[in-house]
Amino acid sequence: MVHLLAFLLRLVLSAGVLWLAVAWVSPANPANTFGRAVAVSIVLSIAYYVTLAKFLWFLLLPWLLYVTIWLAVIMGAYGIGFWRALLVALALTVLSWLVSALLGIRTFRAG
């Protein structure tokens, strides 16, 4: 039960951070909803494991595959271009670091 609660807390925090990052980079984006952020967080979390980026972090190919999937998912889900997707990654990194520093909770690796 504790593991499920921890998973849900990390999911909510990850979705919130993604939601804020997209709002920061693409203000008034009609596709930026909390529900979509939850769905995107789940998809990207699964992709992180499926591409083996979590386990083979020292190899280049899993990371290239994960980055390609990450960019495609973000660009498709929010209707933004390549450069804005890279800005979302930067904003996501900063906001995830803040959440980790302030709350001591690591969000899902969404970017």
Q: pLDDT tens across 47-94, in order? A: 888 888 767 767 788 888 989 999 999 999 999 999 999 999 999 988
Nearest to 92 by CA among 109, 111, 79: 111
Q: What local confidence, expressed as pLDDT, does residue 73 receive?
A: 97
84-106: average pLDDT: 86
Q: pLDDT tens across 7-24, in order? A: 888 889 889 999 999 999
Residue 110's pLDDT band (cuts 50, 70, 90): very low
Q: Give the Cα separation of 87 and 1 in Å (integer).
A: 37
Q: What local confidence, expressed as pLDDT, does residue 21 receive?
A: 94
